Amino acid sequence: MQDANTTSSPMTTPGGSPSGAPRRNLRALSHNELVSLLDELGQPKFRAKQIEDWLWVKNASAFEDMSNLPKSLRAALSERCTLGGVEVAARQLSSDGSRKYLLRFDDGVSVECVGMPSRNKLAVCASTQAGCGMKCAFCATGASGLTRSLTASEIYEQVMHVRDDFNTRVTSVVLMGQGEPFMNYDATLEALRRLNSPEGAGIGARHLTVSTSGVIPMIKRFANEPEQFTLAVSLHSAVQRTRDMLMPGVKKWSLLHLYDIMGEYVDKTGRRPTYEYALIKGVNDTEDELSALCDFCRDNLAHVNLIKLNEVKGSRFQPSSDARAGEFVRRLASVGVEATIRNSRGSDIDAACGQLRQNVERNND
């Protein structure tokens, strides 16, 4: 596998263009940049729409496939641009039908995404950054640090790749792969909008979920976005000391502050936020922790997703028992808080965040 820490820009590829300038990644151009490129090539504006359809709806991987463009335009574009695209560095199939991919971009940086089919649905879990700088103690991605943030098109392409691999429509997307979406806010929002757009993947906003470790200024911003995107917050403890230990990257924002901002979020949007809570034996599954969680969640429209901790090799943390998870559900229900135990999909295929990468790197050592 190539060096995941390479820092070259994902936007350009050396050589190739008639002027000797590096070829530009067509998928990285904004609509206006595309229109002005077409203008330079003496092409009418409507070609931009046709090209965008090939890129964002049909997920074209070759200029020759763009059959409604004149041959001369296809040739001119391929001299000046690349199509970006991803390469599969690893692919694992689970007995439950899930597929997990390690996808590599053209600068050698790779990220994980997962496709999870069920009946006539296909959910995709995608990454927003390569690695993550938030350093959560239980997370395999957090252990390796941040390589770089992804562009909007790199986030979007993961979803298209899974769609094409399953050859079926994607019905929901969760940004719960690698990375902290709210440390890459603009690209994340642009990707969500394209996923939502009828001129893109056409997925309903409520079926597009962002998960954050709790970057408060961005939760505030997110509450003001016009779309009905869904928000999940990784809580993992409602006791300040425990949360600081588990999630040092968000230590500067207190739980009290998070509680207040989530209150504002609910008032503003009327939408139900989800709190993610990975149960860790003896750490956040004690009686005190359960009482604090009940206090944090009652009366604020919360839905709690209890996740069985995915064991990360070399980690000191272990998952709680099923009985303990059941007790959490009962106690939360007794104070009027809805809670579910999340079914861990693909548990036989390095399902936890960051694990596929770890194993591929280990095998390539």
Interacting residue ranges for ligand SF4, rule: CB under 6 A: 132, 134-136, 139, 141-142, 178-180, 213, 234, 353
What's the CA gap between 40 and 79, in Å, rounded? Answer: 14
Cβ contacts of 54 within 8 Å, gap of 6 or more: 60, 65, 66
Tell me the closest approach of the beta carbon of residue 199 to ligand SAH, in angstroms: 27
Tell me the closest approach of the beta carbon of residue 6 to ligand SF4, in angstroms: 20
Is 113 catalytic? The answer is no
Give the tokens for residue 361: 């790197």
Q: In angstroms, what CA-CA distances link 276 with 69, 71, 237, 306?
A: 47, 51, 9, 6
What's the CA gap between 125 and 141, in Å, rounded? Answer: 15
CB-nearer residue toward ligand SF4: 337 or 353: 353
What's the CA gap between 273 and 79, in Å, rounded? Answer: 47
Q: Which residue's beta carbon is nearest to the bound ligand SF4? A: 142
Catalytic residue among 52, 112, 154, 276: 112
Q: Which does 276 bind (CB under 5 to 8 A by kind): ligand SAH, ligand SF4, none?
A: ligand SAH
- Long-range contacts from 87-91, C-beta under 8 angstroms, 24+ separation: 88/161, 89/1, 89/360, 90/356, 90/360
What's the CA gap between 127 and 347, in Å, rounded? Answer: 18
Is 112 catalytic? The answer is yes
Three-class SS state of 145: coil
Q: Which does 77 bind (CB under 5 to 8 A by kind): ligand SF4, ligand SAH, none?
A: none
Give the tokens for residue 308: 């069985």
Catalytic residue among 113, 125, 132, 353: 353
CB-nearer residue toward ligand SAH: 175 or 201: 175
CB-nearer residue toward ligand SAH: 200 or 249: 249
Three-class SS state of 28: helix
Instruction: Please give the residue ranges that form the binding site for ligand SAH (CB under 6 A).
Output: 132, 138-139, 176, 179-180, 211-213, 234, 276, 278, 307, 309-310, 312, 352-353
Q: Which does 352 bind (CB under 5 to 8 A by kind): ligand SAH, ligand SF4, none?
A: ligand SAH
Q: Are strands 110-118 and 121-125 parallel, antiparallel or unpaired?
A: antiparallel
Give the tokens for residue 30: 């904004």
Tell me the closest approach of the beta carbon of residue 230 to ligand SAH, in angstroms: 13
Q: Which does 158 bind (CB under 5 to 8 A by kind): ligand SAH, ligand SF4, none?
A: none
What's the CA gap between 94 and 99, in Å, rounded? Answer: 6
CB-nearer residue toward ligand SAH: 191 or 352: 352
CB-nearer residue toward ligand SF4: 116 or 139: 139
- Active-site positions? 112, 353
